[in-house]
Amino acid sequence: MAKAPAVYILGGAQSDFARNWTKEGKHFVAIMREVVLAALETAKLEPHEVETAHVGNFAAELYAKQGHVGAFFVEIDPAFRGLPTARHEAACASGSIAALAASAEIEAGRYDLAAVVGVEQMKTVDSVTGGDFLGTAAWYERESKGIEFPFPKLFGRLGDEYDRRYGLKDEYLARISAINYANARRNPLAQTRNWFMSDSHALKSDKYNAVVAGRIKVSDCSQITDGAVALFLASERWAARYARRHGVALERIPRILGWGHHTAPLEFDTKVAESRESAYVLPHTRQAILDAFQRAGVASVEQISAIETHDCFTTSEYMAIDHFGITAPGQSWKAIEEGWIEPGGRIPINPSGGLIGAGHPVGATGVRQLLDAYRQVAGQAGDYQVEGAGRVATLNIGGSGTTSCAFVVGC
């Protein structure tokens, strides 16, 4: 792979994922505005310096009866009038795709300073309707139509596939949930930061922790979340000027060291059938991670300090553990049992709380992961800081393992 021009991250902002915008009587543009203005302030940028904007959003047409989400960026500030904007959709990976598009523009030399925004408003409908909307991230008429909560079913089957190939005990999934909730307690913007959770709650199914589908209980699921996140990407030329302006060394500004992006067939059955010969259940996801590592010059996960991964369900984090190479294929349980993925462990996963603990505003998640990776590397993660985080990887997945995006962020 040819060495691409560097893309720097100048900082950003995340909304409090515990908010309910419907109860607040808000249009999503209100919170987009809050996070973009806060991101400008945090990153010490002026609105007129922004040259292009990319917005990740999954389904505003369904949840908020509003398309053309990219154009809402120019509503935020008069200085944004006239800017090129675009909205990107790849289900739950929409945010990463927006970041990829922005970084591609910077690498191509078209623009020097890009805004990346992820936004999703989901609490506008009841859970069954919301589940049906989310079903459009699969092949709707084949996998979702007429099915209540299609996605827990699909990711339950991911667990079943692990079970079939390698064996899987639900206690490991419960532990993943409990760790994410525990981490979320240290993240002041996490949706579940004040929710009750314990290992035994996550393990038991009862009236407060009902089975949603197969081996998936409520505690195995990520949240229905209203959330927005904004961050800024800059070219080396722009970042060098910025570094001088603020008296910081360019080498101290985190950048995207590598990325990976692959797409598997939409249907879960097809994916599993095609991976039958592979040691990895989702080989295209594995490849996205390997590409990001290779572009970043990272030989293995040993050189990564922490991971923000896509735990839309506990089974997807279970999958991520071996796909990142933390264990041999099928042995993710070992990393859980040994405490490697916990704070202070060998390779902490989701110090933010992830999608289960921090929340999962679908189109914003990829941007949130990238911002958390930035915060870790910049030493700005507060109570959920991983000490000495040098390189942090992200994995963002759309559909049932269909679109996979990975980044490595470091200095």
Q: Which chain residues interact with other proteins by CB under 8 A?
A: 13, 15-16, 19, 23-27, 29-35, 37-38, 41, 75, 185, 193-198, 200-201, 204, 206-209, 383
- DSSP lists the bridge partners of residue 233 as 9, 114
- C-beta closer to other proteins: residue 31 or 304: 31
- C-beta closer to other proteins: residue 18 or 281: 18
d(CA 13, CA 188): 13
Sequential DSSP letters for 235-297:
EHHHHHHHHHHHT--GGGS-EEEEEEEEE--SSHHHHHHHTTTSSSSSHHHHHHHHHHHHHHT
Burial class (CB in 10 A: 0-12, 13-18, 19+), 103: buried
- Look up residue 114 and give its two tokens: 């890009």
CB of residue 230 vs other proteins: minimum separation in angstroms? 11
Asked if 290 contacts 296 with a C-beta cutoff of 8 angstroms, the reply is no
d(CA 347, CA 324): 11
CB of residue 38 vs other proteins: minimum separation in angstroms? 5
- Look up residue 359 and give its two tokens: 């929340």
- DSSP lists the bridge partners of residue 306 as 392
- C-beta closer to other proteins: residue 107 or 170: 170
CB of residue 100 vs other proteins: minimum separation in angstroms? 26
- C-beta closer to other proteins: residue 119 or 243: 119
CB of residue 194 vs other proteins: minimum separation in angstroms? 5
CB of residue 31 vs other proteins: minimum separation in angstroms? 7
- C-beta closer to other proteins: residue 301 or 381: 381
Q: What are phi and psi of 293, to 5 degrees?
A: -60, -45
Asked if 193 contacts 185 with a C-beta cutoff of 8 angstroms, the reply is yes
- C-beta closer to other proteins: residue 196 or 251: 196
Q: What is the largest CA-CA distance in the chain?
A: 58
CB of residue 20 vs other proteins: minimum separation in angstroms? 9
- C-beta closer to other proteins: residue 209 or 402: 209
Q: Which of 293, 298, 299, 312 is nearest to 365 (CA)?
A: 312
3 state SS of 233: strand
CB of residue 33 vs other proteins: minimum separation in angstroms? 4
- C-beta closer to other proteins: residue 15 or 332: 15
Burial class (CB in 10 A: 0-12, 13-18, 19+), 10: buried
- C-beta closer to other proteins: residue 201 or 323: 201
Angle between helices 170-184 and 314-323 (to 10 degrees): 100
d(CA 217, CA 211): 4
- C-beta closer to other proteins: residue 35 or 393: 35
CB of residue 32 vs other proteins: minimum separation in angstroms? 8
CB of residue 354 vs other proteins: minimum separation in angstroms? 18
How much of the chain is in helix, strand and coil states, percent to nearest 5? 45, 20, 40
d(CA 318, CA 330): 9
CB of residue 200 vs other proteins: minimum separation in angstroms? 5
